[in-house]
Structures are given as C-alpha cells and as structure tokens.
Amino acid sequence: MTFGGYQPPASIHNEAARRFGDLLTQKLGDGIAFELIGNVLDLGRPSGDLPGMVESGELSFCYMSTVRFSGWVPELKLLELPFLVRDRSTAWHALDGELGERFTRRIHATTPFRVLGLWDNGFRHLTNRVRPIRRPEDCRGLRIRTQMSEMHGEVFRALGFVPVAADIKQFVAEIGADTFDAHDTPLTNSYPFGGHRHHRHITLSGHFFGASLMICNEREYRSWPPEVRAAVEEAAPQATALQRRLAASEDADVLTKLDPRENEVVRLTPAEHAAFVEAVQPVVAKYRKALDPELFGSLEGA
C-alpha cells in the first residue's frame, strides 16, 4: 500500500500519514508493505495529480484539500467561504457531525473515492514580500498565488489582489522570483515549504479555514480482504485525531520559530479584521444564494 502527499517530510499531514502506516503494520504485520511518498513534488508531479493517482491505482491513499473536490461536490464550497469558520472546535464538531456526513455521502455518490478522514488544513493567512498588510487597501495590485478555486479568486479580487491560481508545485519553484508577490497559506504549510524566507510580512488574517480529505479508491477498498479493511477503518480515525492535534499546536509553534528580524507578524485589530470581512461580503452573498441554507447552521452556531 502506498500513501501519497505533497508536503515536506516533517509536515503534520505526513506525520499523520506515517502514523496511519505504522498502525496498519502493527495490525497486519507481514501481511502489508506500506510506503509513504510524502512529497510527489519531488517526483516532478503537481499536487493536483494525487486524486488521479489514487483513482488509477498508482496510489492506495492520499490527502488533498477539499478545494480539489468541489467540482464533484458543490456543497464543499461552503468551506471556501471567507471568515465563515471562527474556531477549530466548531469546525471539527461540524465535520464530525451531520455536515461531515453529508459531505462524505456526496463524495461517495459522485466520485471514485472513499473518505477515510476529514483533516484540518488550517486557517489560512496572508504572506507577502512587499509590505505589511493591515487593510484591504494594502492588498491592492499584489499578485497572490491562490488554490485552484474560482471562489478564492473572487475573494482576493474583492480585497484588491491580482489572483494567480497555481498548484503548490509551481509556487515552490517560483517563490524566489517575481511571479507571486503574496500567498495565502496556513502557517503549518508556509514554514515547512520555506515561504517565510521569501515573504517577510505575515498577516494573521484567518480568512479561510481549510479541510483536507484522506481518501482511498472505493473499488480497491472493496477488493481488500476483510481484515485489511478492518485495519484501515481502525487506523484512519487515529491518524485523523493525531493530524488535528498537530494542526492546533503547530500554528503556535511556528510563530515561536519565526525570527522577528526576518519576519514581521501583523495581528489585526478587531476594526482591521472587520474591514476585511466587509470587503468580501459581496462574494459571500453571491454564494449564500447558490448553496443550501441548511449547510450554514453547523458552522455558524445555529
């Protein structure tokens, strides 16, 4: 069995994937050979290839942002709306409850994948190499690398950015050049990829909360012996619990690792934060009309 990812070895996603493999090996012994390919970028593959590699059988498992699945499951766009999620406990409770079950049912119905875990992909913040960002006006004209999401592009245009959708492979290859002035990323991704060495300014905007899916191929899953399926179903929740614990602690850890001589961390005041929320309201209003209103309740405390 092979598990694929797109991050450096020490990332929290790869730590969880490694734990998953250890648990399978403990349970199945010589009945399994497990390999973690933690960073397909090193193989010259973009991160966006991962779901296709699972679909084709090249990989048994992978993790991937839910953004990559919203074409199949439009309901997942809920997690792309800015400033909707205020804290992790609310998000985790929703993903472990009816909302997560609804996402999972739709993914199983519309894709070739089986969901084994809903992982924490972090609160995304703004980094850039040009100037401190405290107001939407500070974003004006900066070229920002975004995930492959039309909605994210709309959000960043509303803030004044020039969004450039690109796979993380392209960003890592070009971060030292002038292709991108800015990036939006969780601290747990920015630091391992070395983004802080190129982007001095870090604004803790928390504009998006991301989730990732841990998936396998449904057809392959059904072909495994019962004891293998049982081991996978037992190990996956434990890997997910570890991944979430690491996500919550790693944000604080990264901030302690940043050298203030090299990085300026901007913590927005309530008024500054409110200005960002206000600037993106037209985009939020547009997608509220397109999504089922019942989706919002679990994330907004209704």
Burial class (CB in 10 A: 0-12, 13-18, 19+), 135: middle
pLDDT-based confidence at 193, cuts 50/70/90? confident
Tell me the pLDDT tens digit for each residue of 153-176.
999 999 999 999 888 878 777 777
What is the residue range of 6's domain?
A: 2-293
Cα 249 from Cα 241, distance rounded (Å) = 13
Whether the pLDDT of residue 302 is over 50: the answer is no
Tell me the pLDDT tens digit for each residue of 104-148.
999 999 999 999 999 999 999 999 999 999 999 999 999 999 988
Residue 19 belongs to a domain: yes
Residue 302 belongs to a domain: no
Mean pLDDT calculated for residue range 48-68: 95
Give me the pLDDT at residue 301, please: 58
Residue 154 belongs to a domain: yes
Whether the pLDDT of residue 80 is over 70: the answer is yes
Tell me the pLDDT tens digit for each residue of 197-217.
889 999 999 999 999 999 999
Are the C-beta atoms of 12 and 188 separated by less than 8 Å? yes
As a whole-number percent, the residues of the chain with pLDDT over 90 amount to: 75
Whether the pLDDT of residue 196 is over 90: the answer is no
Residue 133 belongs to a domain: yes
Residue 26 belongs to a domain: yes
Tell me the pLDDT tens digit for each residue of 3-41.
999 998 889 999 999 999 999 999 999 889 999 999 998
Residue 89 belongs to a domain: yes
* Contact residues for 86 (Cβ-Cβ < 8 A; gap 6+): none
Give me the pLDDT at residue 181, please: 94
Whether the pLDDT of residue 190 is over 80: the answer is no
Residue 10 belongs to a domain: yes
Report pTM.
0.90
Domain count, the chain: 1
CATH classification at residue 122: 3.40.190.170
Cα 150 from Cα 232, distance rounded (Å) = 34
Give me the pLDDT at residue 60, please: 97
Residue 299 belongs to a domain: no
Chain mean pLDDT for the chain = 92
